[in-house]
Amino acid sequence: MATVTLQGNSFETVGELPAVGSKAPDFNLVKVDLSSATLADYAGSKVILNIFPSVDTGTCATSVRKFNEKAADLDNTKVICVSADLPFAAARFCGAEGIENVITGSSFRGSFGDEYGVAFKTGPLAGLLSRSVVVIDADGTVMFTQQVAETTDEPDYDAALAAL
């Protein structure tokens, strides 16, 4: 279990992020067209998982915007923005914002939060995902992880991109 805060109040997640150097756990996320996306679908590409509670909050929306900007310049890299939001909410947000360089994936079906150790176990966000970043190389190996200590803070974009 990891402990993170929300406005200074401590809460636990169900586990820990995958270890750097380990094989990334497979996942099953729901895309905006309601089809499934798995890690195997991105084999041969580097993957940045931008994980957050909900696109309907300021910091989460900012992380999607910033990764969208940065993704435009990345070679052979897919940025997947992961939350428990329904795919329709992600599509609405990305459409309204003109976001085209990231992929959205909903964890509302499946066990992504448990497999990656990021589901909140306690607190008012229980069941949602803790703000985290996981960078996976083209062979499926975890190259970088960050679980943001204070949920309202942004991730370290530069450190994530440097891991590529």
| Residue numbers annotated as active site | 60
Q: Which tokens belong to 4?
A: 């993170």
The answer to whether residues 28 and 110 touch, using CB atoms and an 8 Å cutoff, is yes
Distance of CA 72 to the CA centre of its chain: 18
**β-pair partners for 23:** 141
Query: Are 36 and 111 within 8 A, CB to CB?
Result: no
Contact criterion met (CB below 8 Å) for 161 and 142: no
Question: Would you list the DSSP string of 39-76?
Answer: GGGGTTSEEEEEE-S-TTSHHHHHHHHHHHHHHTT-SS
